[in-house]
Amino acid sequence: MRVLIAEDSVLLRAGLTRLLLDAGLDVIASVGDATALVEAVERHQPDLAVVDVRMPPTNTDDGLRAALTIREKWPEVGILVLSQYVEERYATELLAHDTSGLGYLLKDRVADVADFLGAVHRVAEGGTALDPEVVIQLLARSRRRDPLAALSPREREVLGHMAAGLSNSAIAQVLFVNEGTVEKHVSNIFTKLDLPPADRTHRRVLAVLRWLSAEEMT
């Protein structure tokens, strides 16, 4: 797998490069600012770009804006956005149209190497990886509280993992239950929230996110 790293901190860039190389991935280039990132993607057409949000030139949300540009021009390039803080607003902007091949994680998650590499593979293969913190923010900001209240605590937990982009088997592993149980929970959630059934994981994520951010219709 060909990976491009965009990160302005030299230390972290070196660390990430080593970590990905050790995992057998091919780091084809690493850059330190948003402009160079877009150029490098155009030149190398990687499978995945790992992007820091706060980067030069303006040191605000340059990485995020570069990620949006890349999505628009080269939608087949997977993007994993890493950030010191995760923000529901950035996530909503990033995931506005499509959640396939997209990830948005706290930088801290790199410390749990196995989980992080799982997310890298998932995103590169067209899946979704959303940080649990973002999911918590999305749930808190959702204006559609009452249907959420109808969910059991376990179903809410499963909904969170669904929104984060986990497949049924991955959710089953996290919750230490078998896949059939997860499937039952998922179908309950879809019925209770009146969501259209979705076969592919990333479409399911999109449906859940849209549902969470939509205004309640009365």
Applying CB under 8 A, the residues found at the interface with another protein are 54, 60-61, 84-90, 106-108, 111-112, 133, 136-137, 139-141, 145
Return the number of the residue (11 or 111) whose C-beta is nearest another protein: 111
Rounded-to-10 torsion of CA 129, 165, 89, 213: 170
Return the number of the residue (43 or 210) whose C-beta is nearest another protein: 210
Return the number of the residue (28 or 106) whose C-beta is nearest another protein: 106
**Nearest approach, Cβ of residue 18 and another protein (Å):** 17
128 in helix, strand or coil?
Answer: strand
Return the number of the residue (66 or 86) whose C-beta is nearest another protein: 86
**Nearest approach, Cβ of residue 60 and another protein (Å):** 5
Partners of residue 48 on adjacent β-strands: 3, 78
Two structure tokens written together for 167: 């497949």
Rounded-to-10 torsion of CA 23, 28, 33, 34: -100
Amino acid occupying residue 65: R
Contact between 68 and 93 (Cβ < 8 Å): yes
Question: What is the spatial distance between Cα 136 and Cα 155, in angstroms, rounded to a whole number?
Answer: 14
**Nearest approach, Cβ of residue 24 and another protein (Å):** 22
**Nearest approach, Cβ of residue 150 and another protein (Å):** 15
Question: What is the spatial distance between Cα 216 and Cα 212, in angstroms, rounded to a whole number?
Answer: 9
Question: Helices marked H in 53-131 — which ranges?
Answer: 62-73, 88-94, 113-124
Return the number of the residue (30 or 137) whose C-beta is nearest another protein: 137
Return the number of the residue (35 or 60) whose C-beta is nearest another protein: 60
Contact between 132 and 164 (Cβ < 8 Å): yes
**Nearest approach, Cβ of residue 59 and another protein (Å):** 9
**Nearest approach, Cβ of residue 54 and another protein (Å):** 6
- CA-closest candidate to residue 125, choices 78, 82, 158, 161: 78
